[in-house]
Structures are given as C-alpha cells and as structure tokens.
Chain A
Amino acid sequence: MKTLFNRPVRLTKLQVNGIKAFYHSLALGYLVWLFMAGVNDNLGGDPVEALLHSSGIIALLMLFFSLCLSHFARRLPCGDLIKCRRMAGVYVFVYGLFHLFTYIAFELQFDMSLVAEEIVSRPYILVGMLALLILFALTITSPMIVRKRMRQKWQPLHNLVYLALVLIVLHYTWSLKTAWQEPVYYWIAAVVLIALRFTKLKKF
C-alpha cells in the first residue's frame, strides 16, 4: 500500500487533544450559531427549512469525514487519528438528532399525530429514521466499556455505518423535487467509500 510518508506520523496526547478540542468547538459552535441565527430569523426566507437542510447536510458531511479518517490513518500513515474517530462519529448522530428535532419541533410544530403519520407513510422519512436508529445504536455502543463487553459483536454492528451512509444519501435524494443536484456527488462519494472497504465488508 502506498503511503504519503515513509514513517508513521506520531501525534502527542496534547496534539490529539488539540485536534479534538478544535473539532468540538467547530461542531458545537456551528450548531449553536445555526440555532441562534434561526431563533433570531437570520437564516434567510425560511429559518426552519435552512436549519433542517443545514443540519442534515452537515451530518452527512461529518459522516463522510469520519469514514475518511481510517483511510487517512492508513495512508499517511498516522494511527493516532483513529483516536478522533469516535468523536467524529458521535457528532454525526448529534447533528442527525438535531435534524429530527427541528423537523418535529419547528416544521411539524409538535403535532405528534402528524409526526407519526409522516414517519410511517413517507418512505424517505422512514429511511431517514432507520439511518438515525443505526447511528443511535452505534453511539450508545461507542464507550470503551461497552465495546469491551461486546467483544466480537462490536465490529459487525459498527459496520452498519455503511448501511446508514446509503440510507442517508437515499433520504436526501428522495426528499428533493429533482435528484439531478448535489446528491449526484454524494452518491459518487458513498460508492467510493464503500468500494474502498468492500473486501472487509464482504466478510460480514
């Protein structure tokens, strides 16, 4: 395998923590900024749609990023990057959850019968919910203590992240009036990421 550097790039604990702190401040900061801008009606014509769209797209981009991390770790190589992967993954769930919350609270105004009806009868919403359930399962099994308890069961469960990826891109494509837009790029990226892991995924 070709790597960028001949020797592994090592990161000190301080550097790893620095990267994590940076990512935390960016991810949380943007979420807070987005929400406050929405509350203050500074998100263009329709703050609800803007919030819904932004949180969804960022969740997807964060998922791409977290899936790229293991490839960066191998190709640089820099094994220490793996230490940031869990954090990156959990933020995908956080943004996804915020996306659902925005839909229920601001789009549907807590009309719970409408929420239930929409989730059941709209395939693209059902697909999004399935993806979020997978991300939820991955998030609650991400602490080291749970991971250790799960032993060999942990990895097959976490391979489902690639299923979540497909579901999320499908959810996005399906929600638009025409598909000939951004989703084209996202499908290409998803296919490339899955192809890179194909031999590994095939085993399960």
Chain B
Amino acid sequence: MPRLFNPSVKLTDNDVTDESVYAQRRQLLKSMGFIGLGSLMSQPASAFGWFTDDDEEKSVFQTRDLDYTRNKKFAIDETLTPYDKVSSFNNFYEFGTDKGDPVENAQGFNVDPWSLTIDGLVEQPLTLNYEDLYSKFALEERIYRMRCVEAWSMVIPWTGFQLSSLLAAAKPLSSAKYVAFQTLYDPKQMPGQKSRFVGGGIDYPYVEGLRIDEAAHPLTMLSVGVYGKTLPPQNGAPIRLVVPWKYGFKSIKSVVKITLTDKEPPTTWKRLAHQEYGFYANVNPAVDHPRWSQASERRITTGGLFNQKRIPTLPFNGYEEVASLYTGMDLTRNY
C-alpha cells in the first residue's frame, strides 16, 4: 500500500500568497529594480560618506570682493586649482574630519565681529577688529603652492599681507624668539570642538607656531581672501596664516591670537603625534611621513580620474630662498 504523502513543510491557508499579489509578482520585482536604480541615479554628486547627515540646503556664507594689487613677483606659471576645489576640499577638523565636512558645516560661521590680538613679548600689543583686517595693511595677491602633509597639493591665489608688517607694527622685543598662533575656540560654532568624535580627538583650540625669523620672512603671509574675495569659513575666514614652504597644517586658520614668546610654543599636530609631525614641518621630499612617502605629490587642478598629475615634491615646496633659515640644522631630525 502506498504510504501517505507527508510534506516536510506544513503549509496552511495563511502561507498562501494573496492572489492579487501573486498576479503582480513580475510587476513587483520590476518596480524593485527601478527603485534600486532610481536611488542610484538620484545620488548627489558626493562620494560615499556613512556618518554624514544629508540635511536640507543651507544658505551659503557670503563673501565679498576685496581691493588689492597683484604682486607679480609671486605670479607662478602653474595651473591654478579652481575656486570650487579650493573651497570644497579642506582639512579643518573644527568642522569635521572629512575633507568635505568643512564646506558642509561651516556656512553659518560668524566672522563679524572678530578680534585678533597680538601680545606677549612686544612693545605695542595690538587688537585688530573685523574691519582692521582688511584696512590696516595694503592687500596684495600672491599665488602660492600649497603642499598638504597628506601628499596632495594645490596652487592658490591668496589675498593678504605679509605677517612681517603686522609684527613690525607690534614691535617685538629682542627677547622674542618664537611666534605662537591660536584658532578661535567656540564649540557653539565649531562642532568638532564640541564633540571629540567630530573633531578627531584633537585638543582644541588648534595652536601653531613659527620661529620669529620664519614668521618675519617675506614669504609668510596672513591671508584674508582667496581668488580676490574674502575667505569662506572652510578656508579659515576671516584671517589665516599661509606659510608656503611648510606642510599645510602649519597654515593655521581663523586666527584670534598671535603671541610672541621666548620658547618654542606647542603645536597641535606635534602634540597629537610627535613622531609623525614636527615643529618645523618643512616640505621635504627626503623625509617621509612614517606612513607614506613625501617624495611626490598629486596636484589637484581640474579634471577627473584620467587627468591626474603626480609630480615630484621639491625641497621647501620649491621656495629655496628659505633654505638659509636652516643652515647647519639637521632637517631629518628637525622634521
């Protein structure tokens, strides 16, 4: 006698797919495909970021035109990095660690009123307010190479004035050997200062320093603008340092305080990882970062993947005139 068929899976009426659904099964699968495709197509033109919140459109920080002259001495014959790249690819951990974060998170940054004080070992302590930044010193445009410690570089037209002019106005005492700089500390405006997680675990405020002869060098400038307009916040509005022969992290942003001292001031990245980032941080193809080579760099200009240029990195980022500042120094040890 044949045995009674005993199914291994016991199904009841509840398991039956509703006929209306069954009849649409091909349609359902198709529409699933379209939803998938559609979500791909509607992706904004930004790369994948998992922990970034895509909130609503924010109003863009307003910049304005500056009055300045072009300094022909610093006009170099290299392709400029376009403004949209200069202003959208930034390391400014106060606004997030991803290089796309600052442009996203800094648009509401308030720069007026601003106060920049110069104090310490000076005869004449100074305080510059927002208007002073643009009017106290004649502004000029200089085109500088900017080499990041991460082995990429840009060519940027900065508008500003020599730091030496400001130092001269403050009249440094002969005991002053170093210049210390400090970024604004305002956790309300800078999410990276509020949360260690957003700010990469750095102790804020961000601080930097130069030897006084480096600070007084004619190449060292304080920039208040880029591409002829006032700086957007992601580039360090309203005023930032630019030291073209040193890695980018030396060029501190949104400066509120400049103090002349007689001993080497602490600097943020050296404090965080002194075996990787030194006080001098001169661009030097012969001294590698412990985790990557500094012998060459990728120049960021226009163009996609197939228009990339990798170029050799030059000692002092090509600004050989500063070499005399370091005669007799071992630059492998003083990296």
- Let me know if A29 and B40 touch, CB within 8 A: yes
- Let me know if A49 and B200 touch, CB within 8 A: no
Which residue of chain A has the shortest Cβ distance to B249 in the bound complex? Answer: A177
- The interface-forming segment of B71-79, B256-264, B296-304 is B296-304
Question: B212-235 CB contact bits vs A (8 Å, 1 = yes)?
Answer: 000000000000000000000000
- Let me know if A118 and B292 touch, CB within 8 A: yes
- Let me know if A181 and B292 touch, CB within 8 A: no
Q: Does B62 contact A (CB under 8 A)?
A: no
- Let me know if B306 and A22 touch, CB within 8 A: no
Count the B residues whose beta carbon is within 8 Å of the partner chain — how many?
48
- Let me know if B308 and A25 touch, CB within 8 A: no
Q: Whole-angstrom distance from the CB of A11 to the nearest CB of chain B?
A: 12
Q: Which residues of chain B from 24 to 55 have any CB-CB distance to chain A below 8 Å in the complex?
A: 25, 29, 32-33, 36-37, 40, 43, 45-48, 50-51
Q: Which residues of chain A from 30 to 75 have any CB-CB distance to chain B below 8 Å in the complex?
A: 30, 33-35, 37-51, 53-54, 57-58, 61
Q: Does A159 contact B (CB under 8 A)?
A: no
Question: Pick the contact of A118 from B99, B150, B293, B305 — CB < 8 Å?
Answer: B293
- Let me know if B99 and A49 touch, CB within 8 A: yes
Q: Does B205 contact A (CB under 8 A)?
A: no
Q: Does B70 contact A (CB under 8 A)?
A: no
Q: Which residues of A contact B50 (CB under 8 A)?
A: 57, 61, 182
A44 vs B99: C-alpha distance when bound (angstroms): 9
Q: Does B280 contact A (CB under 8 A)?
A: no
- Let me know if A34 and B302 touch, CB within 8 A: no
Which residue of chain A has the shortest Cβ distance to B302 in the bound complex? Answer: A41
Q: Which residues of B contact A57 (CB under 8 A)?
A: 48, 50
Q: Whole-angstrom distance from the CB of B198 to the nearest CB of chain A?
A: 9
Question: B173-201 CB contact bits vs A (8 Å, 1 = yes)?
Answer: 00000000000000000000000110011
Q: Whole-angstrom distance from the CB of A61 to the nearest CB of chain B?
A: 7
Which residue of chain B has the shortest Cβ distance to A52 in the bound complex? Answer: B47
Q: Which residues of B contact A147 (CB under 8 A)?
A: none
- Let me know if B200 and A177 touch, CB within 8 A: yes
A180 vs B324: C-alpha distance when bound (angstroms): 39
Which residue of chain A has the shortest Cβ distance to B45 in the bound complex? Answer: A42
- Let me know if A109 and B304 touch, CB within 8 A: no
Q: Does B310 contact A (CB under 8 A)?
A: yes
Q: Whole-angstrom distance from the CB of B275 to the nearest CB of chain A?
A: 13
Q: What is the size category of the interface that chain A forms with chain B?
A: 35 or more
Q: Does A201 contact B (CB under 8 A)?
A: no
Q: Whole-angstrom distance from the CB of B186 to the nearest CB of chain A?
A: 20
Q: Which residues of B contact A108 (CB under 8 A)?
A: 310
Question: Pick the contact of A181 from B46, B90, B97, B152 — CB < 8 Å?
Answer: B97
How many residue-residue contacts, CB under 8 A, span A and B? 127
A107 vs B292: C-alpha distance when bound (angstroms): 12
Q: Whole-angstrom distance from the CB of A19 to the nearest CB of chain B?
A: 9
Question: B283-313 CB contact bits vs A (8 Å, 1 = yes)?
Answer: 0000000011101101010111111111000
Q: Whole-angstrom distance from the CB of B98 to the nearest CB of chain A?
A: 8
Q: Does A191 contact B (CB under 8 A)?
A: no
Q: Does B100 contact A (CB under 8 A)?
A: yes
A21 vs B273: C-alpha distance when bound (angstroms): 47
Q: A48-B298, A180-B197 are in contact. Are A38 and B304 (CB under 8 A)?
A: yes
Q: Which residues of A contact B9 (CB under 8 A)?
A: 10
Q: Does A195 contact B (CB under 8 A)?
A: no
Question: Pick the contact of A106 from B25, B88, B302, B305 — CB < 8 Å?
Answer: B305
Q: Which residues of A contact B306 (CB under 8 A)?
A: 39
Question: Pick the contact of B99 from A29, A42, A45, A117 — CB < 8 Å?
Answer: A45
Q: Which residues of A contact B25 (CB under 8 A)?
A: 14
Q: A25-B36, A178-B272 are in contact. Are A122 and B291 (CB under 8 A)?
A: yes
- Let me know if A58 and B48 touch, CB within 8 A: yes
Q: Which residues of B contact A49 (CB under 8 A)?
A: 99, 152
- Apart from A34-B48, A46-B298, A105-B305, 4 more pairs, CB < 8 Å: A38-B305, A41-B307, A43-B46, A177-B273
Q: A residues near B, CB below 8 A?
A: 10, 14, 18, 21-22, 25-26, 29-30, 33-35, 37-51, 53-54, 57-58, 61, 105-109, 111, 114, 117-118, 122-124, 174-182, 184-185
The 5 listed contacts between A and B (C-beta, < 8 Å) are: A18-B32, A38-B304, A45-B90, A180-B196, A181-B97
